[in-house]
Structure 1
C-alpha cells in the first residue's frame, strides 16, 4: 500500500565507512536566542484501553517537553536509549553500526532546566509511524529556542520502542497488516492521544507555561496527516502542518477553517504526480481557511527529521539529493514561520511567496495569491494616476463627453520600506472573479502579495519609459508582475487601464466603470476599433506624463511599448500613430489592423505560445502578414507549453489556486521567460545594451520562428 511505503520502507545503503562508537554525531543547532530545557512526562489515560493491546486497560504515553529555559550547566538530553536505537536499526535492517552511537548524539536541551517565561504558544509534534519521538528533537529544540513550548508525543505501540520511567520498553504492537482501516484507526487514535495530552498538561504543574489559546500541531508522515484528525476533533488546535504525510482518512465537509500547511517532497507531492499528491488535493478542497501547499526539491522522507540528519552522518543513503542539514534548516524555517504567523500574529514573508533564500521550496497551491519577486536590484514603487482626455468622447459610452483613464505607474524607488501596493480594489476583484470558476471570496485578489511600495519616493531621473497595455476584459493589474520586474531593472512603467474595456475599474472619486464594450456587437470592426482606440489612449497618456510632475523621471527619447493579447496587437497601431514609441512587443495577440506599406522600421518583437504540435509548425497568419512589413530589427519567438493566460498574472493566479487552463509549462516559468525577453528587448533597444538572449534562444522552451 502506498502509505506503508511512505511510512516504513526506506532503502538504505552505506555510502561512507560506518561511524564508530565515539563519532561526534550532532543534531541541528537551535537558531533562536534562548537556552532550551527539556523534561520527560509520563501520562496514563485510564478512560480507555490501549487500542493496540486491549489487555492493557489504559493508554500510557511518554511526552517530551521542550521550552525556553533559564541558563543552566546541567546534563544535555539523551537522543535515544540503546534499546530504542537497537530497535530502530533492526527495523531498518542496518548492520555494521553499533546502536550505541545513537546514545551519544549531541543535543542542546538541558534536562529539567528551570523554565523561563509563562503563557507560551505551544506546538504539539507527532512523529512518523514506527519512529520514536526522538526523530523530531532538532525541530523541537529550534522551536523552543524561539520561545515555544513544544509537546513531543510518543504514541505507544506505534513505534519500534518507547522507554518508560520504570524501565519497561514497549515495541510496535501496531506493526503488521496495513489496510485502509488500519491507517484510519492510527490517525484517529493519535488525535485522541493529543487531546488527552493537552487535557493533562492544562491540569498539571506545567499549565502556567502554556497559553491554551495559542496551540498548534505539526507532524511527520502519519503524524502529519493525524494533525488534520486532531484539529477536526479538538478546536483548541488553532493551526496545523502535515509534513510529508499521505492522507488515508479524508477530510470531509464542512472541512476545516483554521490555517493549515502541506509541506512535503516535490517528487511525491507536487500536484498531479500520483495518488499521494491526490490525497492532498482532496483535503485541499475541504480547507476553507488560510492554506499553503509547499514542496521541497531533493528531499527524501527522512530528510525532514533527525533520522535523515543522523543517518547521513552515519553514511546512510536515503536517496536525497538535498543534504540532510539543509533539509532540516528548511523544515525548521517554514514550520517556525507558520506558527509565528498563526499563533503569534507576526507577518512572515517566507509564507507569502517563494524565497531566494530557499530556492528548493516551491509554492504548489496557495489561498493568498502572490506575484513573483522582481529580479532586478532596485526597490520598486508604484502609484495610481488618474487622467482625463477632454478632447474626445468615450468611444464606448458616447454620452460621456471625455475619455478618463487610470494608469498604474511603476518605477525604481528610493527605499523598499513601506506598505505594499494593493493589487486591485474589492470592486475590481469581484468583477474579475465573477464567473471565473474560482470558488473563492470575491475580494480574494485584494490580498494578492505584491512587491511594490505604494507611493514610494522615486529614485533616479531621465529613465526609459515602457507603456504596457493589458488584454481585452483584463484590468491593468494583470500585468503587475511584468511591470514590477521592469521597474526593478530601472524602467518607468505605465500600465494603462482602458476604461470600459475590462471587467471593471475603480476611480479615485469612488465611481466604478464596468465593461461597456462587452455589450457591443463584436463584429469584424470591433477588434480594429479596440486597437485604434488603445493607440489613442497611449498617445494621450504620453502627452499627459510629459506635462506632469512625473516628467523629470522620464526620458522622452527612450519610450517603448508592449502589451498582451489585444494590448499587444495595439502596439503596432500605436507605433504607427506615435513616433515617440521607439520599440514595441506584441505578446500573444492576434492583430486586426494590418500593417501596410511603408511598414515599420523601428524594432519589433512577437512573443507567443506555441500553436502547433512542434515548434513554429503552425503560426498566426496576422503575424505573418505584419512580419513582412517590419523593415527594422525584428524577432518572432514562441514558448512551448504555454497558453494565452500564461504570460500574465492570470496564469500565475490560476496555478496558485490549482485551476487548469491548458498550459503544460507553469505560469511561473512562462513569467520568467516573458520577463527575460521583455527586459532584454528594451535593454537592447532603449539602452543600447547587448543581450545575447535575443540572438539565440536562452530557454529550452523557446524557439525563434523568424
Structure 2
C-alpha cells in the first residue's frame, strides 16, 4: 500500500478559512442522527501498542432520525485537526477552523426506524474517521445505519470520551508485511464492532442479514479481507485503495465494487491497478471496476472537500464537490442494489450524468447508450423462404431466418430486449477463453424495449449483416444507435453461418457451413451471394408485412466483415438498396462493369503503414464505383473493434490487438454509419463525410 500523502500546496501563503466551511448536503429525505460509541475488545491486545492489553475503538453511528432539530455533530476536534495539519505540513491556517465545519447530523437524536440495512465504513491510513462524514450522512439520509470506525493508533489522532487523544503508533516504516498486518487488523476491528452492535441497545436498528462495507484507501483495501473472514458482510467497496493482502482461491462470491482514480487505477497503469487486476480474477460474484477522471486520492473524502474550501490545491481537475457527489451516488447505488434488492441502472453502464466515470471492467456486459434522442424498441421476426432450399443444409427444403427489427419507440419504459438466448450465449462464448458462465451474455444490458410500440411511419430502413460465424446480436449497439436517430433497422441472422441461432419453436441451428472447407474463393463467393439472396427476401417480407413503418424508397445496407462484403452483391442484385457500407470485409465477388452508381463507403481497420496499398479486392471494386464513394481507415482498431465483440472484450479485459478503446471505435463507427445514411437516405448533408471528424480517421480514397 503506497502512502498517498496530502502533498498540499496553498493557493497563497496567507490562505485563510472561509467562514462557511461545509460538508456535502445529504441527498436523502430523512433527517440524520449520530452518536459516538466507545468499544473495548478485551479478547486481544492492541496490535500496535502491545502493552495495552485490549483493543479500544471509537465508532460513530449515523442513522435516520426522528427530527432534524438539535445540536449538530462537530466535524473534528481541534486536537484531531492539529494532528492532521501537522502531518500534512499545513501552515497558515488555524486548526480550529475544522471545528466549525457545518455538518447535518444531530447529536444523539432519537432514531427513526428499525431493522435498517447497515454499511460499515473504514477510513484511510492516518486519517480520522471524520473524513467519511459526508458519505455517512448521505447514506443515513437514505435510510441506512452507518457504522464509521476509527482504527486506534492507525490515524494521527483519535479522541476518547475521557479526553485522551491517541496518536499514530503504527506510523513509521512501511513494507508489504506492514500493510498486510494493517488490513488484517482492520478485519478484526470490524468483526468486533459488529459483534458489539448486535449485543447493544442499538441492535434493533440493525438488520444483521443486510450488512455491507466500504472504505477509502487502506480502509477500502481491507474490505476484501474482512468479507473473507466475516460472512455477515454481504457486499463491499474498495474506494481508491491498493490491495496488498492477495485474495486467494476460492475467492469471493459476494458483490464487490472497485472505485478509484483513473490516473492510478485504470487497468495497465501500474502496481496499484495490478493489485486490483490480481484480485479481480478471484472475485466470482457480481463485480464492477470503475474509474473516475480528474480525481486525486483525497477527492473521495471530506479532506478533499474541506481542503479545497480552505484554498488547498490537491491537484484534482474535478472539483471536490463533484467528486463527493460521484462517490456518494455510486456507493449508494451499489448498496441499494445489493442490500435492498433495488436494481440500479447507474451500475449497468456508463451514465451521461457522470461522464467522469468509466467502466474499466464488469461482470455484467453492457452496450453503450444510443446517441439519438428517441427511445428504441425491438422485436424478433421469424421468416421462412419456401422458394429455395437452405444452401448449407440442402435436406431442409426452405431457408428460415431470424431477424431483429429495431425502431424508434413510443416509450422507453418496459423490459429490455434479451441480447441472446442461453444457447446462443454458450455457443458464442465457447472457445473464448473466458472463465464465465455459458449463459453470461443473456445478462447483457441492452437499451431497446422488447416489443415496444413503434413511433413514426415511413421510416428509412437499414439492413445490417454480421460477420461470418457471428450472430446478429453482435451488431446490436449499431442497430440501437441508428434506431435512436429515427431509422428502422433489420439485423439478419444468416442461419447455419454463425455459432448458433435459436428459433421460436425451440430448435437451434449451429454453424453447418463451418464444417465445409473454406480455404478457397468459391466458398466465400457462395456466402456473399447467399447473403444477397437473404437480404432481398427479408426486404420482400418486411415491406409487405410492415408497409406503414418502412419507406421502401429509402433502404440502405451495411455489414461487418462478410456482412460488409455481401453488401455490394446485394446492391447489384436488388436496386431497392440505395446506399451501402462495407465495414472491414474482404470482397470475393468482383464488382464488374457497369459497376455501381449508388453511394458506397468502405471502412477498414488500421493498416501499417496508414492506408497501405495491397487490399486488391477493395481497389478492384472501388475502381468500378461510379457514384459517391469514400474509403476511410480508423487508427488504433482491429477487425473486432467495429462490433459488440470488441466492446465485450474490453469490458472483460480481453485484448483484441488494437490500442484504440472499443468504446471509442464504436463511437466512430456509429457516427460515420449514421452520417452516411443521413446524407444518402435522408438528403441531409453531413460534413463528417467530407473531412475527417476524428483524429483517428483518415480518408484513404
Q: Which band: TM-score by shorter chain?
A: over 0.9
Question: 3-state DSSP class of the match of 2:250?
Answer: coil
Look up the match of 2:647: 652
Which residue of the partner structure matches residue 692 of structure 2?
A: 697
1:287 aligns with 2:293: no
* Structure 1 residues 618 and 325: CA distance shift in structure 2, 3 A: farther
**Structure 2 match to 1:637:** 632
Query: Distance in 1 between the 2:506 and 2:226 partners?
Result: 46
Cα deviation for residue 381 of structure 1 reads: 0.2
- 1:547 corresponds to 2:524: no
Q: Residue 409 of structure 1 aligns with which residue? A: 405
The DSSP-based 3-state class of the residue aligned with 1:645 is: helix
Q: How does 1:114-125 map to 2 (within 5 A)?
A: 114-125=110-121
Q: Give how far 1:617 is off.
A: 2.8
Residue 675 of structure 2 is aligned to residue 680 of structure 1: yes
Q: Are residue 527 (structure 1) and residue 524 (structure 2) matched?
A: yes
Q: Is the 8 A contact 2:560 2:584 kept in 1?
A: yes
Q: Check if 1:444 corresponds to 2:403.
A: no
Residue aligning to 1:210: 206
Quote how far apart the aligned CAs of 1:19 are. Answer: 5.5
**1:210-249 residue CA offsets vs partner (Å, 9 max, x unmatched):** 0000000000000001000100000000000000000111
Instruction: Work out whether residues 259 and 289 of structure 2, in 8 Å CA contact, stay in contact via their aligned partners in 1.
Output: yes
Mapping of 1:2-41 within 5 angstroms? 3-6=1-4, 9-16=5-12, 20=16, 23-41=19-37
Q: Distance in 2 between matches of 1:388 and 1:587?
A: 28
- Aligned counterpart in structure 2 of residue 88 of structure 1, from 78, 84, 90: 84
Match of 2:3, SS? Answer: helix
Q: Is the 8 A contact 2:25 2:138 kept in 1?
A: yes
Take 1:238 and 1:690, find their aligned partners in 2: how far apart are those partners? 54
Native 8 Å contact 2:16 2:92 kept in 1: no
Q: Is the 8 A contact 1:412 1:491 kept in 2?
A: yes
**Does structure 1 residue 663 correspond to structure 2 residue 662?**
no
* CA distance in 1 between partners of 2:78 and 2:610 (Å): 62
Which deviations, in whole Å up to 9, do the C-alpha atoms of 1:50-97 show, x marking residues without a partner?
000000000000000000001142100000000000000000000000
> What whole-Å deviation, never above 9, does each CA across 1:569-606 have from its counterpart, x for those lacking one?
00000000000000000001111101111110000000
Matched residue, 1:505: 501
Query: C-alpha distance in 1, partners of 2:343/2:13?
Result: 45
Counterpart of 1:617 (choices 609, 612, 633) is 612
Counterpart Cα distance in 2 of 1:73 and 1:289:
42
> What displacement does 1:616 show?
1.1
Q: Closer, same or farther in 2 for the Cα pair 1:22/1:532, shift >3 Å?
A: closer
SS of 1:103's equivalent in the other structure is helix
SS at structure 1 position matched to 2:201: coil
Task: Provide, for residues 177-230 of structure 1, a one-character-per-residue CA deviation record: whole Å limited to 9, x for no partner.
Answer: 101000000000000000000000000000000000000000000000100010
CA distance in 2, matches of 1:619, 1:211: 67
Distance 1:56 1:5 in 2: 27
SS at 2:411 equivalent:
coil
Q: Cα offset for 1:26?
A: 0.3
Task: Judge conservation of contact 2:15–2:92 (CA < 8 Å) in 1.
Answer: no
Note the C-alpha offset of 1:326.
0.1
Distance (Å, rounded) in 2 between the aligned partners of 1:618 and 1:103: 70
Partners of 1:254 and 1:680 lie apart in 2 by 50
Q: Map residues 289-688 of structure 1 onto 2, 5 A cutoff.
A: 289-522=285-518, 523-548=520-545, 550-612=546-608, 614-688=609-683
- Listed one character per residue, the Cα deviations across residues 421-440 of structure 1 (whole Å, up to 9, x for unaligned) are 00000000000001111110
Among 246, 252, 255, the residue aligned to 1:256:
252
Count of paired positions: 700
Greater mean alpha carbon deviation, residues 555-564 or residues 520-529:
520-529
- Give the TM-score normalised by structure 1: 0.98
**Change in 2 beyond 3 A, CA 1:702/1:42:** same
Tell me by how many angstroms 1:164 deviates: 0.1
CA distance in 2, matches of 1:481, 1:697: 22
Q: Structure 1 554/125 Cα, relative in aligned 2: closer, same or farther at 3 Å?
A: same
CA distance in 2, matches of 1:401, 1:295: 54
Query: d(CA) in 1 for partners of 2:351 and 2:595?
Result: 45
Distance 2:618 2:349 in 1: 36
- Please give the secondary structure, in 1, of the residue aligned with 2:303: helix
Give yes or no for contact 1:18–1:315 (8 Å, CA) kept in 2: no
In 2: Cα distance, 1:639 partner to 1:389 partner: 38
Unmatched runs of 5 consecutive residues or more in structure 2: none
The Cα of 1:524 is off from its aligned counterpart by: 2.4
Aligned 8 A contact 1:21 1:100 in 2: no
Instruction: After TM superposition, give the deviation of residue 620 of structure 1 in Å.
Output: 2.0
Q: Is 1:113 paired with 2:77? A: no
**Matches of 1:46 and 1:223, distance apart in 2:** 23
TM-score w.r.t. the length of structure 2 is: 0.99
Instruction: Work out whether 1:277 is the aligned partner of 2:267.
Output: no
CA distance in structure 1 between the partners assigned to 2:632 and 2:471 by the alignment: 25
Q: Indicate how the Cα distance of structure 1 residues 22 and 622 shifts in structure 2: closer, same or farther if over 3 A, else same.
A: closer
Distance in 2 between residues matched to 1:39 and 1:85, nearest whole Å: 20
CA distance in 1, matches of 2:192, 2:615: 66
Contact 1:368 1:448 in 2 (8 A): yes
User: Does the 8 Å CA contact 1:18/1:314 hold for their aligned counterparts?
Assistant: no
Q: What is the rounded CA distance, in whole Å, between the counterparts of 1:440 and 1:227 in structure 2?
A: 24
State the secondary structure of the residue aligned to 1:668.
helix
* 1:11-69 per-position Cα deviation (integer Å, ceiling 9, x unaligned): 21112575546711000000000000000000000000000000000000000000000
| Inter-partner Cα distance in structure 1 for 2:686 and 2:18 | 57
Distance 2:558 2:628 in 1: 16
Distance 1:421 1:358 in 2: 25
CA RMSD, 1 decimal: 0.8
Local SS of the residue matching 2:380: strand
CA distance in 2, matches of 1:414, 1:530: 37
Q: Is the 8 Å Cα contact of residues 2 and 242 (structure 2) preserved in structure 1? A: no
- Taking the aligned partners of 1:272 and 1:551, their CA distance within structure 2 comes to 52
- 3-state SS, counterpart of residue 552 of structure 1: coil
Aligned to 1:138, which of 122, 134, 137? 134
